[in-house]
Structure formats: structure tokens, C-alpha cells
Structure 1
Amino acid sequence: MHEFPAGRLAAWATAWLAGRCSYDEALDAVLGDTAHRVTGLPGSDEAVPLGSALSALRGLGERRLRLVLPVPGDVRGLPAVPGLAAAAVEAGQVAVGERLALVPEEAGPEAVQWTAFPLDGVASLPPAAEGTLRAVSGELDLAVADAARTLAGLGLARWHPEVPALLAGLAKPAAGPHLPADHDPLAVSVLGRASRLAKVLDLAMADAPGGAVTHRQAAARDVALRPLADAVRSAVGAAFNAVPREPLGR
């Protein structure tokens, strides 16, 4: 849950399309040390490098991509394109524009396979409502306080000793994914905290070694941690989708 290639693509492609960074900066930031290939681009019958997809976005007239984090029962922000909702829910993330939607899938430890869904002829949907960065940051604080008691009750630290350090460090600045230089500093801070909490959730939602968690305990755990998962999801989306305000007078 704590890796968001669709978020990186949304943030950096938007910055490049708006002229806020160079093509090379955007491509390097999204690629990192990972190989990326894209299938389904209009006019292409085979997989192409991610750089070709970036160029295609500008050629199609895209102005911005947004990160959408769908879950079963909540696919707000997804255009009604055959196959898109199912693929996006399975991936847990998708970068959505006006002309294309791109869904990532891990294709090995150092490879990401993207599937492009053309949106021609599809009615544009208003983006899913997002809270302000300050609001989602506050919601994250409240959810953490409630979840801490749940995590303690589960005895999670006995199975995953790294959890206390992750929780204890939430008040400190946390490094998050590399974002454009002019990205909102609060968004960067929120994303760092949310990414750390996403790691905690990954550990908390995994069954204890040896199957020590019963089905009833697992169900209670899932219900108790759902507010934290929702808060993390909202924070990640708002942070990646934040764009700098234009200076007055422009």
C-alpha cells in the first residue's frame, strides 16, 4: 500500500505539462531505478517505454493527471470505461487525466507495467472531492490516536518490532517520495507521514506469524483500523494531487 507509482506519475507529469519541470526531470523522478513499460496507448499496438507515454500525454492535450485510490465499493473519480474500475481497484491506484487513465502493476521487483485506458468519448467526471491539506493532516492525527490503542491491543509489536519506531517517529519530518521542487511543503510533510502509516497498516493487516489471529479477531482489527486506512488514503491523494498556486497577477 505504501508504494504509489501512480501518484508519482500524476505529480510529475502534471508538473511537466504545466512547464514547472523539464521532461528529463519528470521521467527520471518517475522511473527511479525501475523499468516501466506501457501498453494500450492510442496508436500503439505494443508496449512502449514510459517516456513515450509522457510524450503522448502532451500530444493528446492533457493538462493534468490526478491520483485516484479506488477501493471496493468506492470508485469515485473513475471514468466509466470498460475494464478500468476492475483494474484500478485491483491495483489500488490509477493516474487519471481527461484523455487517458494509466493503471500500474508490479511486474517484478524492479519493473512496473502500465495499462493505458483511452477516455475518448467518455464524459468527463468531476474529480473526487478532496479535503484541504490541513484538514487531512488533522484527520490523520485523530485516526492515529484511535488506531494506536487498537495496535497495542493486538500486540502488534510482538510480531513486528519495527512498528513502535514507525509510530514514535510520526512527529518528526519524514522523507516521502521525491516530488517537484515547487510542490507544497505541507503536502510533502503529509505524504511522508501517510507513507509511514501505510507501512504500519501493511504490517497490522497481515496475519500474525503462526496464524495467531482468529477470524473474529481479524474482523475486529479490520473494522478498528478502517478509519486510519481511510485517513491515509485521503491524505495520500490530497498530497500527490496538490499543485502550487499561481502567483497573483499572472
Structure 2
Amino acid sequence: MPFPSATLAVWGSAWLHGVAAPDDALDALQVWAEIHEVVADDDGTATALDLPAKDERATQLAGLFAALRKAGATTARLVIPVPGDVRGLGGSMPLAQAGMHAGQVIVLPEANVGIVPDTIAEDVIRWTVFDLPTGGPAEFTPLGEADHGLSAAMREAAGTLASLDLASSRPGVRQEIKERAAVTARARWPIGMPQKALRVLQRASEVAAILEVAAEDDPGGALSSSAALRRAEALRPLADAVRVARCAAVDDAVRALSDHAGRH
């Protein structure tokens, strides 16, 4: 899955802290799509942030950046909601539903907004800005803890992945996994991006690519519903570890860039 929210969260925070130029942030997002549109989910949010509503002509990312600064945003965080776990979204059901559909949300607690990307056409991403009720974001997970959790989950899932034998049932699967993970590897990051956070992001993307291929692998619909359920249950801890690792890596990067700004 392409993950533009991580790019926008890190670059947006870097720009808000004055350690990245706006043009560099905009250029970094071109990896994910040539065209980026921005709208507000409801009229109240549109009015508060001076953004177009969903039924109006969309603005561009530069307009979003200006609106966030005007609203007092300082730090962006990545949230990856799933059914049963929508922590960090302030109890907003519209935001949670859109976030679960997209698999990613950026929250800016100081501005009380959440932002969700949606690929609406080839090379076009639409970012929708939602109201984020107060209530505090999810707790931070230390990067080392998240990295350890990802390693442990990979070890536990090794038997399940081996039993799927993707290489024999899906020719070229290793190259397919490599190509999927390479999409994230193309992402550009600001000067001062911590290398450990970068490594964890890349490793999480590689594991996510394996999970995507494993989820799609059922030649001819041969798996029974019970077998498919067992496989999904076995791989869920690995998917959860990927979620935690991605969010922790973005949090770590944002804090490092904020600290860098404070020293200058």
C-alpha cells in the first residue's frame, strides 16, 4: 500500500518547525502522485480553515499548509486505525471510517484536525480534512520497543508464512514483494531524518508487502473459509506490529526534527 501520510506527517512537521522549505515538502509528495487535491469534510471545517468543502473546487497542498499554520498546528502524527482500535482520532466516527478505508490518517492535535488521503484517479490523491474532537492523541510507543515488537512478530509468523509457500503457488512472488516495498523506498525525507526511524519504516514496508501478497494468495479460491480465517488470525499480530512500527517511526522522526529546530 502506498503510504503518503507518513511523508506528509514528517515533511509537514518539519515545515511547521521551520526546518524544511515548503517547496521541498511539496516536491517530496510528488513521489506518491502528480496531483494533490485538498477539501474539507464538512462546512464547519471548511469555514474554520478557509478550505473548500467537498462539493467545491479543491485547493492544493500549499493551501493546506497555509491553513494548518494559521490554525496553530505544530506537530503531525500518523494514526493507522483498524476495526476495534481507533485511538487517537478523538471519537470522530467520520474520521475513523475514512481512516479505516484509507488505512492511514494524519492528526494535528493543536489544530484539531485529521487528514485522510484517497487515491481518486491515477496519479491523483485527494486529502480530506476532518474535524478532530479534543481528547488527546494516542500514546507514544518508543521506537526501540516498536522495532523489537516487529522482529518478534516476524519470528512468530515465520511458520505461517512458510506454510503458505508463496514462491511455489505464485511465480515471481519475491520480485513482486520487492517491487511493492520499493515504492516506499523512493520516498524522500528532510535533512535530519533519523536513520533508525528510516530503517524501521523501510522494514515495516517490506513486511507489509509480504502481508499484502499473502492476503491475496489463494489460487482458484482453494482455501476453505476456516483455513482462510486461521491464516488471517495467524498474520494479524504481524499486521499490528507493522502499524505500531510505522507510527513509532514517524513519531520519532517528528520529535527529532522538532529537536533540531529547537537547537537553531
Band of TM-score, shorter chain? 0.7 to 0.9
Q: Which moved more, 1:137-146 or 1:226-235?
A: 137-146
User: Which aligned pairs between 1:51-70 and structure 2 lie closer than 5 A?
Assistant: 51-70=62-81
User: Which aligned pairs between 1:181-192 and structure 2 lie closer than 5 A?
Assistant: 181-192=191-202
The CA distance in 1 between the partners of 2:39 and 2:158, in whole Å, is 42
Helix, strand or coil at the partner of 2:115 = strand
The CA distance in 1 between the partners of 2:177 and 2:120, in whole Å, is 31
Q: Deviations over 1:49-93 (max 9, x none)?
A: 112101111111100111100001100000233511111111111
- Residues 162 and 93 of structure 1, relative CA distance in 2, 3 Å threshold: same
Query: Contact between 1:88 and 1:103, CA under 8 Å: does it hold in 2?
Result: yes
User: Which aligned pairs between 1:58-207 and structure 2 lie closer than 5 A?
Assistant: 58-98=69-109, 99=111, 100-119=113-132, 122-123=133-134, 125-164=135-174, 175=185, 177-207=187-217
Helix, strand or coil at the partner of 1:104 = strand
Query: Contact between 2:79 and 2:105, CA under 8 Å: does it hold in 1?
Result: yes
Give the C-alpha shift of residue 249 in structure 1.
7.3
Q: Which moved more, 1:59-68 or 1:126-135?
A: 126-135
Give the C-alpha shift of residue 204 in structure 1.
0.6
TM-score, normalised with respect to structure 2: 0.84
Q: Which moved more, 1:156-165 or 1:195-204?
A: 156-165
- Give the AA of the match of 2:115: L
The CA distance in 2 between the partners of 1:151 and 1:161, in whole Å, is 16
List runs of 5+ in structure 2 lacking aligned partners. 41-45, 179-183
User: Which aligned pairs between 1:190-229 and structure 2 lie closer than 5 A?
Assistant: 190-229=200-239
Q: Deviations over 1:208-236 (max 9, x none)?
A: 22112221111010010011101111001
Give the C-alpha shift of residue 130 in structure 1.
3.0
The CA distance in 1 between the partners of 2:177 and 2:115, in whole Å, is 33
Helix, strand or coil at the partner of 1:113 = strand
- Residues 154 and 236 of structure 1, relative CA distance in 2, 3 Å threshold: same
Give the aligned partner of residue 39 of structure 2.
Answer: 39
List runs of 5+ in structure 1 lacking aligned partners. 169-173
Q: Which moved more, 1:36-45 or 1:193-202?
A: 36-45
The CA distance in 2 between the partners of 1:137 and 1:238, in whole Å, is 9
The CA distance in 2 between the partners of 1:161 and 1:236, in whole Å, is 29
Query: Contact between 2:116 and 2:128, CA under 8 Å: does it hold in 1?
Result: yes
Give the aligned partner of residue 235 of structure 1.
Answer: 245
Helix, strand or coil at the partner of 1:67 = strand
The number of residues matched between the two structures is 241
The CA distance in 1 between the partners of 2:170 and 2:126, in whole Å, is 31
The CA distance in 2 between the partners of 1:176 and 1:143, in whole Å, is 26
Give the aligned partner of residue 43 of structure 2.
Answer: none
Structure 1 segments of 4+ aligned residues over 6 angstroms from their partners = 165-168, 247-250
Helix, strand or coil at the partner of 1:73 = coil
Helix, strand or coil at the partner of 1:240 = helix
Give the C-alpha shift of residue 131 in structure 1.
2.1
The CA distance in 2 between the partners of 1:77 and 1:104, in whole Å, is 17
Q: Is the helix fraction higher in 1 or 2?
A: 2
Percent of aligned pairs with the same amino acid: 39
The CA distance in 1 between the partners of 2:251 and 2:187, in whole Å, is 13
Please tell me the root mean square deviation across aligned C-alpha atoms, in Å: 2.3
Helix, strand or coil at the partner of 1:83 = helix
- Residues 182 and 224 of structure 1, relative CA distance in 2, 3 Å threshold: same
Q: Which moved more, 1:23-32 or 1:186-195?
A: 23-32
Query: Contact between 2:90 and 2:137, CA under 8 Å: does it hold in 1?
Result: no
TM-score, normalised with respect to structure 1: 0.88
